[in-house]
Amino acid sequence: MKKENFIWSAIKTGLLGGAVALFICLIGMVEVFSKRDVVEGVITLGQFVLLATSIIAGLFASKNTSSLVERNKAFSSMVAGVIAGVVTGGMIALFVILGDIVNIRAVFLNASPTLYQLLTFEQGVGNAWVLPAIGAFAGLLGAGYVFLPASVSHPINRGLLVIVFMALFSGLFRVVLINQGPEMEKAAKYLFGQTGLTKAGALIFFLGVILVTLLWTYQGGNVRQGITRLPKGGRLSLQVIAFALIGFIALALPQVSGPFIAQVIVIVALFILMGLGLNITLGFAGLLDLGFVAFYAIGAYTVGLLTSYGPFGLQHISFWVAIPIAVLVAMAAGFTLGLPVLGVRGDYLAIATLGFGEIVRLLAGSDFLSPYFGGPQGIIGIQKPCLGFLEPFVKIDVPRVCNGIELGKPQDIYYLAVVAALLIAFVAWRLRESRLGRAWMAIREDEDVAEALGINLIQTKLLAYMLGAAMAGLGGAIFAALIGSIFATSMQLLVSINVVALIIVGGMGSIPGVIVGAIALIGLPELLREISEFRYLLYGMALIVMMLAKPEGLWPSQAARRELHHEDAAQIER
């Protein structure tokens, strides 16, 4: 078979890169991202994204070339990289020129004058030739990158990654540091600008990461060996120190970070609770539930109805009494959902549960039940939890006086949510190691065989639904206390989908995976509120990339790790 001409291949790669670049221009991403800097005065986030497409086009063109040509590999690859970069840049340039002649904006709303200004560096259409030139340079960079040995490219990769990460969250870091007093304020202003990293900050982070990576490459082995060589007591005390450190940071964090970050962490913790719950039904027992938000809603509404001072509050009992009731009600709901869908498997189960989730949301928000659940107005005036010995447990007078510590601010709820998440993670872990956990896994693998081995399918499945629901219900209960009001509209299908996604991204059936997945899919997007328009675009891209690159998840369970890496399987010792 005749091999493809490498030049043609490079042009195709460039066209693809150009298409991606135009796409992100036309959806308005470049314009929004240009308000943020990666490094202040050097490169904006918008420019960075466009540059990255050219570099990646060059990189792929160069990679393809090495498999297409036999001689002069290095030279041909460089040429291919430049071609791909020029084509990518050229397409943007053509777009700019075209936009000058025809009114593209009639079709594409985001093809605004500001965008053209940005693309031509505010020099007008005459400056469009610069774009292919930059593209060529970027493509060459990408092509050259392929030839770097791993020992060089790894530190650079990490350095760039950290810079982008720090730049994205620079506003947060800056605010948090500035709050720590005048000394820290100076440091903050030195490292972080208003819209991105300062030049000095970028350089410090980049060099710092490279230094650490290099040190780890050359000395990491020794350190690891040193740790394994430690006597048992030594290793134990090292672990104790590590745990103490993590515990201290966890305790101090909300006091240092302020309410915004604390609230984000609470939301992550609530999703961890839901994730741990769904991890039981889906991860352990293999029962897909697309209406999981229903149990969260039921937990939240139960606490709302039992503690609210608003018009729909049935009782004014203490939050601490309402919590176990909410968990029990959610469990009962899990039982109610479980019974009719017991015999339903796979895709059909997913649809049935999807229906359940929607029914709960629609009922809660309906006019029909609005005398009880407030309909679209929701339930307001939910009391904050009160920590105090004098707190009456069951009946609380109106208006309540909290003779102790009121958990009013997000920073206070933080402790409640984190403790609940840790506690439930522990419970989930013990459940997995139990006889019941084994039975769930057997059902997940093969229902018929499980039954023939003596596992009661009905009982085991119902327990999976009920325990999963209980955990989500606890999450909902804390949510009610955090927000102080609940509305049916916040119990969207998207919440259920997020929970499924975070389990898959974290690693199906893995408890640490749930935590990592919740931080990655819920925490990071929450922190990136500024670019909220494009959150779900990035979210979708991340999911696709994840499934291609790491289908077993970020922190897979042992079973999944074994399944997807058969060659290593023989070495796993227990």
Partner 1 sequence: MPMLTLDKVNTYYGNIHALKGITLSIEKGEIVTLIGGNGAGKTTTLRTISGLLKPREGNVRLNGEDLSKYKAHEIVYKGISMVPEGRGVFARLTVNENLEMGAYSLKDPQGISRNMERVFTLFPRLKERHTQVAGTLSGGEQQMLATGRALMASPNILLMDEPSMGLAPVLVELIFDTIQQINKEGVTILLVEQNALMALSIAHRGYVLQTGEIVISDSAENLKNNPTVQKAYLGME
Give the footprint of partner 1 on this chain (CB under 8 A). Answer: 435, 438-439, 441-442, 445-446, 448-457, 559-560, 562-563, 566, 569-570, 572-574
What are the counts of helices (DSSP H) followed by strands (DSSP E) for the chain?
A: 26, 4
Q: Which is nearer to partner 1, 102 or 458 (CB)?
A: 458
- In whole angstroms, the minimum distance from the beta carbon of 569 to partner 1 comes to 5
CB of 437 to partner 1, least distance (A): 11
Tokens of 559: 């079973």
What whole-number distance in Å separates Cα of residue 538 and Cα of residue 56? 17
Rounded to the nearest whole angstrom, what is the least distance from the CB of residue 458 to partner 1 in the complex? 8
User: Shortest Cβ distance from residue 567 to partner 1 (Å)?
Assistant: 9
* Minimum CB distance to partner 1 smaller for 307 or for 460: 460
- Min dist. Cβ of residue 456 to partner 1 (A): 5
Alpha-carbon span 472 to 495, nearest angstrom: 12
Q: Residues 88, 134: contact at Cβ < 8 Å?
A: no
Which two three-digit tokens encode residue 436? 């019941």
Alpha-carbon 322 to chain mean position: 31
Q: Rounded to whole angstroms, what are the CA distances from 180 to 205, 258, 456, 467?
A: 21, 11, 58, 43
Q: Please state the closest distance from residue 571 (CB atom) to partner 1, in A.
A: 9
Q: Which of 376, 359, 358, 356 is nearest to 367 (CA)?
A: 376
Closer to partner 1 by CB, 533 or 563: give it. Answer: 563
Q: Which of 480, 535, 503, 498 shows the shortest CA–CA distance to 357?
A: 498
Q: Which residues contact 263 (CB under 8 A, 6 or more apart)?
A: 410, 482
Compare residues 286 and 385 and give the one whose CB is closer to partner 1.
286
Nearer to partner 1, 4 or 445 (CB): 445
Complex with partner 1: residue 162 or 560, whichever CB lies closer: 560
| Closer CB to partner 1, 531 or 559, in the complex | 559
Write down the least CB distance from residue 559 to partner 1, Å: 4
Nearer Cβ to partner 1, position 244 or 572? 572
Letter string b/e over residues 496-535, b meaning 16 or more CB atoms within 10 A of that residue's CB:
bebbbbbbbbbbbbbbbbbbbbbbbbbbbbbbeeebeebe
Q: Pick from 330, 324, 335: which is nearest to 298 by CA?
A: 330
* CB proximity list for 351: less than 8 A, separation 6 or greater: 290
Q: Nearer Cβ to partner 1, position 21 or 288?
A: 288
Closer Cβ to partner 1, 36 or 444, answer by number: 444
Residue linked to tokens 């493509």: 139
- The CA dihedral of 36, 38, 40, 42, to the nearest 10 degrees, is -120
Strands in 422-503 per DSSP E: none
Residue 325 CB, nearest distance to partner 1 (Å)? Answer: 33
Residue closest to 48 by CA, chosen among 191, 161, 210, 193: 161
What is the nearest approach in angstroms of partner 1 to the Cβ of residue 14?
43
**Taking the complex as a whole, how short is the minimal distance between the CB of residue 341 and partner 1, in angstroms?**
19
Amino acid identity of 239?
Q
